Structure 1
Amino acid sequence: MTYHCELYATAPSYRGLLRRAEAATPRLALRFLRQMAGTVADLLDDAPAPADGLERPSAPLRRWTEDTDAHEDLQGLLLKGKFVPEVVRAAGSDGVLYVLAAMPASHCPCRSAALLIPAPTGPGRWAPLIHH
């Protein structure tokens, strides 16, 4: 079995796949997700720190990269063939939400003809997120 991992960004009218990878084992899937969490955390840290004393937007990602219990849980879920739509997420100061997800490759929505999301052009219209 192989595993599909992805990093995507979403906002009220937008969702985009930023990176994806196929991994041969849950451990390799975890490695990719940890690397992506670190990359996004570094980018979020480039923004000014919140003035109101709140934690930096990167904090959930940094905590997750060090959380060995969460890593073991994720690997266990993947070994059981589970789809984990939200491994960890962090919101940037610009309102963009960054999400890491993992699943067995056979469960990946990208394997379907088109993954549909509401288009920002109006209600009732649909547009493919990923074209093959």
Structure 2
Amino acid sequence: MATTLTLEDVHALWESALRSGYWAECVAYPPDHNRVFWLGARPAGSPRLALRWLRSRAQDIAGQLDPTAAPQLEAWLLDTAAHQRALSALCQGEMVWRAVVDGEGIRYVFSARPVHTVALRGTC
């Protein structure tokens, strides 16, 4: 039997994931800095899940980058020591990020950070 979720149920699920967890996102900044392109974002319940999503998204994006940026991102994806340092930093409450720049000057930023929010009920 399929379960039907209301919009309120979905908001409650996302809100609980963000209340004490992690946020991972990928953003592209063109050289003119007049625009921002969101390439994806996701809440995560643990540092490991945040990095897993971030690395998965980076792997998807790496295949679409030009030959100057793709090797930078692929090297980061294969660097297990960098992954362990990022995991450790997230566990200590620090933000982690990696940026690569393609041949056109577009900067791709992959980041994860801890979030601790307070739910504001009945304010909207």
User: Fold-level match, TM-score > 0.5?
Assistant: yes
What TM-score comes out, normalization by structure 2 length? 0.70
CA-atom RMSD in angstroms = 1.6
Question: 1:93 matched to which residue of 2?
Answer: 103
What are structure 2's unaligned runs of at least 5 residues? 1-19, 118-124
Equivalenced residues, count: 96
Instruction: Mark the structure with the bigger radius of gyration.
Output: 2
Alignment partners' CA distance in 1, 2:21 and 2:44: 6
What TM-score comes out, normalization by structure 1 length? 0.66
1:27 corresponds to 2:53: no
SS in 1 for 2:29: strand
Decide which structure has greater helix share: 2
Alignment partners' CA distance in 1, 2:22 and 2:111: 11
Alignment partners' CA distance in 1, 2:71 and 2:57: 14
CA contact (8 A) 1:60 1:88 kept: no
CA contact (8 A) 1:57 1:90 kept: yes
Identity of aligned residues (%): 31
Question: 1:40 matched to which residue of 2?
Answer: 61
Greater RCO (CA < 8 Å, at least 6 residues apart): 2
SS in 1 for 2:105: coil
Question: 1:6 matched to which residue of 2?
Answer: 25
SS in 2 for 1:2: strand
